Every structure is written in structure tokens, then in C-alpha cells.
Amino acid sequence: MAVESSLAWGVGQRLDVLDALRGLLSGGQAAARLRVWAFLELAAQPQGRLQREDLNQLFHALKPEALDAVLKRLRELALLVWDTTAQDYCLSPLAQQVQALLAPLTRAASEDDDMAALLAQVAGAQAMGLSDAGQIRHLHAQLARLYDEFADAIASGSEARLRQAQPRFERALKLVGRAGEALTALIRSEHDDARLEREARALGGGQARLLSMASQFTRALQQADRQRVTLGSTGVTSSDVRRWLQSHADLSSLLGDALSTGVKPIFVSGHELVDVAEGEFERDRPDPYRSQGLPPAVQAATGELETLSMPLELGALIDQLAALGALPAGQAAVPQPLPGVVLGGRFAQAAYRMQLLPLLGDHQARTLNGQTGELARLPWHTGFLAAIEQVDDPHVSALSAGALHPDISRESNE
């Protein structure tokens, strides 16, 4: 039931405000507009009390009958109080509540009205310590509606819808970003109201969802840009044509007299076309005299299977490192400088040896079969330094500094 809803209960506690609004806005549009304008003008006056002469000067453009009718309605709604002792007018506390509800009407219309007012209310209430769970809930609902609207634009894949929603999406992100500090403080602050804390955390989740959509929106725009087609070498794209067609007042007028004359095909070389058509028909027609059976069996020719052999430099490097590590008992292997292991022969051979050195001690390469795994299982590991040293070699002028170090841990285990 509606009476069991907290929102319905809260509205029921403000029936006096509802009656005042109903009285202000009842009747025709012109009358409601006059009453709202006069009420907001009175609420904007800096004087606490107003004499009748002040009202006559303030509303000098109105006829006396119209002004008396407006003042009478405001007194009946308990928005304007007449003090018989002081012979002046003043606004009631109820009028201040109604003015707070109608205050957004005094601002100029903006494209950000859908969320800016709610964000301002939440941020201002938090700064003054007057946070309300209802305001936060309404803002969360508005964020959810914006998220669904932008998600539909992304899912449509339509460049027109994406371009139309892009400015509004950017403004929404800017507004949420500006109010981010206030919303963060609201979530982190301690409240005795569990409902307020729950709504604040839900609002933070909605804010995060909207902010995370920025990357999806950017990817959708990039996808639309990739689908744009450039018409020849003119620089005109399909998007330009679409915008021009949308701005045209009468698309049917573009046809002109194009449909007034029927299409009459003219064949310049009819005989040649007939010959080509007959040739195509004969070519695609199956030959009834052609055998439809399988061809006879034929002995397969003998062949050779060639396998790729490893370069000779790999085997030579394995033998060289194995010889350096095979020392008599009691003697430990010493580090070997890189030039002594890498250099020798042409530049390509030295570069190949240099590329093989990181495999020494590699755990994954040790499990491989063949010469690559054999190289990785040797008791050496390479240590490179962040420097370049000059070498005396006819094919290599500089080499990365470093050395081959014996793998002491492996030698001790063996």
C-alpha cells in the first residue's frame, strides 16, 4: 500500500506545501503564470515587511484589479500574511518552503537541467551537514537513466545517435567530476542514518558506472569513424552526405524528372553479346561423354623428407661452453668475458651467438629436447651490464658489457 512507503509518508507530511502549490498553479496558464511570477518577485525582495505602497511600485505594470486578485490568492493560501497592526505584508514560513521548490524556475534554461540541479542540492546539503536520503536517491535514479540512455546509443552503433549523445555525455561526466569531492565526502562521512549511508554508497556505484562508460563511448565513436566511407578523391564522406540529406527540406525534390522517363537499354553489339552468352552456357553445361568414375590407381613416387638442421654455430657454442666447464676436480670454473665467447667469424655469426646467451639457465628452455635444451642445461648463466665496451674485431666494433658466470648452485647439486 502507498501508506507503507517511506516516500508516500514523507509526502503526506507536507500536505500544506502541496495545497499551496495547487492553489498557485490552478486555473489557466496565464493566471498561474501571473501568480507564480508575483510570488517569486515578493520572495526576492530584501525587505522583511512590505507596505502596500511598496507593492504598488513593485507591480506598477499590473492593473489594480489583477494585483488585488493575486494578493488575495496569496493570503488565502497562507503564503502572504497581512499584519493589521503594522499595516504591512510579510511572507510566511510556508512561503519560504514553496519558494525553495520554485527557485529552479528563476534560472535560465540549460541543457544540464536534468542533473545539475540534483547535483547542486546534494553537494550543497552535504557541505552544510543537511544531507537527505531522498535527494541522494533521486540523483541515483537520474544517473541510472542517463547510463541506460548512453548505453542504448552505444549498442545502436548509429553514428548519428552517438554524435547527438556525445555533448550531453561529456557534460554529464564534467558535472559528476565536479561533484565528486562532495560525493566522496558524503560516502566517507559517518552518519547515524543507515538509509542515508546505503543510498550514498549506491550513488557512488552509479557514479563509477557512468565514469567507466567513457572508454566504451570512445571505442564506439572510433568504430563509427572506421566505418565512414570517403567518396572518391573529393574528401566528402558518407557522414557529410548524411548530414546534408538530413538538413534538406524536401528530399523528393532531389529526384527532379529522373523518374519521368523510363530506362531503355541499348545494345550496341547485339550479335557479340549473343555469342558470348552461348559460349557461357556451353562452358557450364556438363559433358555427357566424359567419364564420371574415379581415376585409376597410381603408385606414389618415392620422396625424401628433409628436416631443418640447426646452425653449426649452436653446436660449436655448446662444445665451447662444455669445455670451459669441464675442469679437473678441485678447480672451480671462473667467469668468462663475453668477447671470448661471442666473437669469431662474421658479424652474423657473432650476433647469433649473442642471441643464444639468454637461453643459458632458462627454466623453460631446459625442458626442451635437442640442442636448444642442451644449451640451456649447461652450468652457466649470462650477466649483462648496462654499458657498451669497444672490442678489437674486424667485424664487430662494440659489444654489450658482461660475462658468463658459472652456475654454482647447479654444480653443488650435481
Q: Is 128 in the same domain as 222? A: yes
Would the pLDDT of 367 be above 60?
A: yes
Which pLDDT tens digit goes with each residue over 371-388?
Answer: 888 888 888 888 888 888
Boundary-marking domain end, from 106, 130, 161: 106
276: in domain: no
245: in domain: no
249: in domain: no
Helix (H, G, I), strand (E, B) or coil at 60: coil
pLDDT-above-90 percentage for the chain: 0
Q: Is 73 in the same domain as 96? A: yes
Would the pLDDT of 130 be above 60?
A: no
> Looking at residue 67, what is its pLDDT?
85
> Looking at residue 250, what is its pLDDT?
78
Nearest-angstrom CA–CA distance, 170 and 192: 36
- For 11, the domain range is 2-106
Which pLDDT tens digit goes with each residue over 210-250?
Answer: 778 888 888 887 777 776 666 666 667 767 777 777 777 77
The amino acid at residue 401 is A
Q: Is 120 in the same domain as 218? A: yes
pLDDT level of residue 409 (50, 70, 90 thresholds): low
Q: What is the DSSP string of 325-346?
A: H---TT-----EEHHHHH-SSS
> Looking at residue 328, what is its pLDDT?
59
pLDDT level of residue 401 (50, 70, 90 thresholds): confident
pLDDT level of residue 107 (50, 70, 90 thresholds): low
pLDDT level of residue 6 (50, 70, 90 thresholds): low
> Looking at residue 2, what is its pLDDT?
47
Would the pLDDT of 37 be above 80?
A: yes
Residue 356, C-alpha cell as written in the block? 643464444
Nearest-angstrom CA–CA distance, 115 and 122: 11
> Looking at residue 27, what is its pLDDT?
80
The number of distinct structural domains making up the chain is 3
Q: Is 219 in the same domain as 121? A: yes
CA 140 to chain centre: 19
Q: Is 6 in the same domain as 97? A: yes
Helix (H, G, I), strand (E, B) or coil at 192: coil
Residues 6+ apart with CB under 8 A from 367: 373
Q: Is the dihedral of CA 14, 19, 20, 24 positive or negative?
A: positive
> Looking at residue 383, what is its pLDDT?
86
Which pLDDT tens digit goes with each residue over 302-329?
Answer: 877 666 666 788 888 888 888 877 665 5
